[in-house]
Homo-oligomer: A and B are copies of this chain.
Amino acid sequence: MTDTASKTSGRRIVLGHTNYGKSDIRLVKVFRNPGRHEIKELRVDVSQEGDFAAAHVEGDNTGLMATDTMRNTVYALARDRLTGSAEAFGVELVRHFLEAAPRANRVRVSMVEHLWERIEAGGKPHEHSFVRAAGERTAEVVGDEEGNFSVEAGIDDLLVLKTTNSGWAGFLRDRFTTLPETDDRILSTVVTSRWSYGGATDLDFDRLWEGIRRRILETFTDHYSPSVQFTLHRMGRAVLESFPEVERIHFSLPNRHHLLYDLERFGMENPGEVFHADAEPYGLIEGTVERSAS
């Protein structure tokens, strides 16, 4: 915090927390292995924290890395150091920026990976042609000049739905409650999840991500769900039980309501068949499952 001399209501006006960087750097790398190309598509955000008070208060940019330089650096380092997972590349970028930016003392690199699958042609995967897969993978690496690192991975935009084995009952009823209880409804959500590997920077992040995604999907299917809350906790616990590398996992689960359409008005039955998938409003259930401190 920096004193900026002015005072109002007896307290000085100061500069609080700041950060800056480059967002939405769209990087594609091609690995031209003979007979089997690979591609990696990342959207990268770089953000630096540090001592930027002189720039904010006095207009003195000395020692500030231009965000354009951050952009150039991401592409340049991708040349030799993007060889495996997004997480490992993030670690390389954070290390570089901590060293190269004299005023930065903490650096965050956030990435969204767009996933591609090989096109099947003539019954086998094509060597250099790809089709975009559903959903997105995220990775975030934060490091500081004391050498502390934290690595997080995640999933965006994973839509799932089960047609039965879900209900919602036993909840509070007050003056404004009109929702009936049910023991059979459609459960559908768009999974957004983030999990932490703690300070580990050399795990097999690709294998872990595949396994965690599969574990989340399988757990979604394997039980009667009395609430989104219950399913959230069960998915989180399943991941932590199966993957000791994971310190903590967070879910943000919108409840995509499917409302049975009232066909009785037209003299028709509707035994759980025809639904309106309502866009808004939506329930939103969020929570973290983690390892205890001790």
Contact = CB atoms under 8 A, between A and B. Distances in A.
Interface in A11-25: 11-25
- For A6, A258, A283, the residue with the greatest tally of chain B CB atoms inside 10 Å of its CB is A283
A175 to B, nearest CB: 6
Contacts of A129: 160-163, 220-221
Taking the full assembly, how many copies of this chain does it contain? Answer: 4
A232 interface: yes
B283 A22 contact: yes
Contacts of A31: 273
Interface string A168-180: 1111101111110
B65 A274 contact: no
Nearest to A75: B261
A132 interface: yes
A223 B278 CA distance: 34
Given A56-B229, A131-B160, A218-B122, A18 B287 contact: yes
Given A4-B237, A8-B244, A9-B244, A165 B128 contact: yes
A16 B78 CA distance: 37
- For A66, A128, A134, the residue with the greatest tally of chain B CB atoms inside 10 Å of its CB is A66
- Please give me the 6 A-B residue pairs with the lowest Cβ-Cβ distance, nearest first: A16-B288, A132-B159, A18-B287, A59-B226, A67-B283, A134-B134
A41 interface: yes
Given A255-B67, A279-B26, A102 B172 contact: yes
Given A60-B170, A129-B160, A134-B134, 20 more contacts: A6-B241, A9-B244, A15-B233, A15-B287, A18-B287, A19-B286, A20-B228, A24-B281, A32-B164, A32-B272, A61-B168, A61-B226, A69-B178, A73-B176, A76-B266, A79-B274, A130-B160, A130-B161, A130-B163, A132-B159
A203 interface: no
A97 to B, nearest CB: 11
Given A52-B229, A121-B222, A163-B128, A12 B291 contact: yes
Contacts of A8: 240-241, 244, 291
A277 B169 contact: no
B29 A273 contact: yes
B39 A281 contact: no
A292 B116 CA distance: 37
A273 B178 contact: no
Nearest to A249: B16
Interface in A66-121: 66-69, 71-73, 75-76, 78-79, 100-102, 116, 119-121
Interface string A264-291: 0110111111111111111111111111
